[in-house]
Amino acid sequence: MNMDIRDYYGETKWCDHCREYVHFLMSVNRSYCVHCGNPVRLFSKEDSRRFNADVQKKKWRAV
Ligand SMILES: [Zn+2]
C-alpha cells in the first residue's frame, strides 16, 4: 500500500461547474469532470492564488 499525499491530490481536480473537487477523466491535453463533463483544473481560483502567493514569498526570501 502506498497512499501518500501526492496520490490523493492526483485523484481529484477542481470543477468550476460543480464548484468542488471532483474525480476526472483524463484525455491527452485536458481533464474532464466525471459529473458534468466540463474541463477541470488542478486548483480552485482561491487555492491557486494562495499557491502563487506562497511561491512569490519563497522567491522574495531566496533573493
Ligand atoms: Zn463538474
Which sequence spans correspond to the domains of the chain?
5-62
- Residue 6: per-residue pLDDT: 53
Taking the model in full, what pTM does it have? 0.62
Ligand 1 centre distance from Cα of residue 47 (Å): 17
Contacts of 15 (CB under 8 A, 6+ apart): 21, 22, 24, 33, 35, 36, 38, 40
Rounded distance, CA 37 to CA 56, Å? 33
Q: What is the pLDDT of residues 7-44, one digit of tens each?
A: 555 589 999 999 999 999 988 888 999 999 999 998 88
Ligand 1 centre distance from Cα of residue 24 (Å): 9
- Residue 18: per-residue pLDDT: 97
- Residue 19: per-residue pLDDT: 95
Ligand 1 centre distance from Cα of residue 30 (Å): 14
